[in-house]
Amino acid sequence: MTAMLTRHEQRRNVLVFPTDFYRKHTESSSSDSNSMPNLMHNNNNTNKYLHSLKLQTLQGKGKTRPNTRQHPYQPQLQQLLFQQPSERFPRTRQGHVDATHSAFGQKYPAQSPNTNALTNTIRPLDINLLTPTSAAPETFSSPSFPSSSCSTTSSTSHLHSDTHATSKASTVSTNLSTTTPNINTKAVIRIPTLAAFTKKRKAESNHTAAESSAASELSGAPPSPDQKRLKIRLKLRSLPKEDSVAKPEPKPEPIVISDDSDDDLTSTESTLSQDDEMDADEESNDYASSSSERVKLDHQLRHVLNTIFPKREDKNRAALKSAFELCSQLRDDYIVGRLLGSGSSGFVLSAKRVFDGREVAIKVIPSDNKYTESKFRRELDILNALTHENILGFVEYFESPDCKFLVTEMGGSSLFDFIEMHKSPQGAAMKGGHFGSGIQESVVRSIFMQLSLALCALHQNHIVHGDIKDENALITVDHNTNTYRARICDFGHSKRIKEGSLPSFTFYGTTILAPPEMDANNALREKMKRSDIQVEHDDWTRYYGYEADVFAMGLMLYTLVHGDLPSELMERDPKLLAAYKRRRRSVKTFPFAVLQKNIDEDLKDLLKRMLAVTPSRRITMAEVINHPWLTKS
Residue 596 engages ligand ATP in binding (rule: CB under 6 A):
no
The interface mask with ligand ATP, positions 468-507, x = CB under 6 A, is ---xx-x--------------xx-x---------------
Using alpha carbons, select from 496, 492, 486 the residue that is nearest to residue 388: 486
Residue among 356 and 532 whose Cβ is closer to ligand ATP: 356
Give me the phi and psi of 243, to 5 degrees please.
-95, 20
State yes or no: residue 364 binds ligand ATP (CB under 6 A). Answer: no
Q: At what angle are helices 415-422 and 441-460 packed, to 10 degrees?
A: 160
| Number of amino acids touching ligand ATP (CB under 6 A) | 24
CB 389 → ligand ATP: shortest distance, Å?
15
Question: Among residues 469, 568, 405, which one has the least CA distance to residue 97?
Answer: 469
Least separation, in Å, of the C-beta of 339 and ligand ATP? 8
Separation CA 220–CA 230 (nearest Å): 17
- Please report how close the Cβ of residue 351 comes to ligand ATP at its closest, in angstroms: 10
Range list of H helices, 271-414: 274-290, 299-308, 314-325, 328-333, 370-385
Query: Is 392 among the residues that bind ligand ATP (CB under 6 A)?
Result: yes
Cα(459)–Cα(454) distance, integer angstroms:
9
**CB-wise, 345 or 369, nearer to ligand ATP?**
345
> What's the rounded Cα separation, in Å, for the pair 457 and 151?
7
Smallest distance, ligand ATP to C-beta of residue 476, A: 9
Shortest Cβ distance from residue 394 to ligand ATP (Å)? Answer: 10
State the amino acid at position 526 in one-letter form. E
- Told to check if 68 binds ligand ATP by CB under 6 A, we report no
Q: Which is nearer to ligand ATP, 254 or 346 (CB)?
A: 346
Among candidates 571, 614, 569, which has minimal Cα distance to 590?
A: 614
Q: How far is the CB of 412 from ligand ATP (least distance, A)?
A: 6
Q: 277 or 373: whose CB is closer to ligand ATP?
A: 373
Among 7, 65, 96, 618, binds ligand ATP (CB under 6 A): 96
**Looking only at residues 170 through 229 of this chain, which bind ligand ATP when binding is defined by CB under 6 A?**
none
Closest approach of ligand ATP to the CB of residue 74, in Å: 12
Minimum gap (Å) between residue 117 Cβ and ligand ATP: 24
> Which residue number, 341 or 545, has a Cβ lying nearer to ligand ATP?
341
375 in a labelled binding site: no
Q: Under a CB-based contact definition with an 8 Å cutoff, are residues 338 and 84 in contact?
A: yes
**Residue 255 · residue 324 · CB < 8 Å:** yes
* Pick from 456, 424, 416, 417: nearest CA to 440: 424
From the list 136-144, 278-286, 404-412, 574-582, the region that binds ligand ATP by CB under 6 A is 404-412
Mark the segment that binds ligand ATP (CB under 6 A) among 11-19, 342-350, 448-456, 623-631: 342-350
Residue 588: CB atoms within 10 Å? 13
In the complex with ligand ATP, which residue's Cβ is closer, 280 or 451?
451
- List CB contacts of 616: < 8 A, sequence separation 6 or more: 538, 539
Under the criterion CB under 6 A, does residue 336 sit at the interface with ligand ATP?
no
> At its nearest, how many Å lie between ligand ATP and the CB of residue 488?
11
The number of helix segments (H) and strand segments (E) in the chain equals 24, 12
Cβ proximity of 336 and 349 under 8 Å: yes
Task: Report the residue number, 272 or 488, with the smaller CB distance to ligand ATP.
Answer: 488
What is the Cα–Cα distance from 508 to 299, expressed in whole angstroms? Answer: 40
Q: Considering the rule CB under 6 A, would residue 464 count as an interface residue with ligand ATP?
A: no
The answer to whether the CB of 524 falls within 8 A of the CB of 537 is yes
Give the integer Cα–Cα distance in Å for 465 and 450. Answer: 15
Residue from 323, 382, 410, 624 that binds ligand ATP (CB under 6 A)?
410
- Can you tell me which of 411, 554, 563, 591 binds ligand ATP, judged by CB under 6 A? 411
Q: Which long-range contacts (CB under 8 A, 24 or more apart) does 209-217 make?
A: 210/234
CB nearer ligand ATP, residue 363 or residue 618: 363
Beta-bridge mates of residue 211: none
DSSP letter at 78 equals: H
- Going along 86-232, which residue ranges are E strands? 188-190
| Identity of the residue, 471 or 568, whose beta carbon is nearer to ligand ATP in the bound complex | 471
Coil, strand, or helix at residue 200?
helix
Nearer to ligand ATP, 86 or 114 (CB): 86
Residue 465: name the closest of 515, 502, 417, 499 by CA.
515
C-beta of 105: minimal distance to ligand ATP in Å? 8
Residue nearest to ligand ATP (CB): 343
Rounded Cα distance between 469 and 450, Å, is: 14
| Site map (CB under 6 A) of ligand ATP, residues 414-453, x = contact | x---------------------------------------
| Of positions 122, 304, 340, 613, contacts ligand ATP by CB under 6 A | 340
The single residue among 66, 113, 143, 343 that binds ligand ATP, judged by CB under 6 A, is 343
- Residue 366 near ligand ATP by CB under 6 A: no
Q: How far is the CB of 130 from ligand ATP (least distance, A)?
A: 11
DSSP character at residue 80: H
How far is 633 from 629, CA to CA, in rounded Å?
A: 9
Eight-class DSSP state of 221 = P
Interacting positions 513-552 with ligand ATP (CB under 6 A):
none
Three-state secondary structure along 359-386?
EEEEEEEECCCHHHHHHHHHHHHHHHHC
Our CB check for ligand ATP shows the closer of 132 and 563 to be 132
Q: Which is nearer to ligand ATP, 173 or 476 (CB)?
A: 476
Report CA-CA distances (Å) from 434 to 168, 189, 441: 16, 41, 6
Rounded Cα distance between 19 and 178, Å, is 10
Residue 189 or 520: the one with the smaller Cβ distance to ligand ATP is 189
For residue 34, the SS3 value is: coil
CB of 408 to ligand ATP, least distance (A): 5
Q: How far is the CB of 467 from ligand ATP (least distance, A)?
A: 6
**Member of 18, 143, 254, 341 binding ligand ATP (CB under 6 A):** 341
- CA pair distance 365, 373, nearest whole angstrom: 8
Binding residues for ATP, as ranges, are 363
Residues that bind ligand ATP (CB under 6 A): 96, 340-346, 348, 361, 363, 392, 408-411, 414, 467, 471-472, 474, 489-490, 492
Binding residues, as ranges, are 363
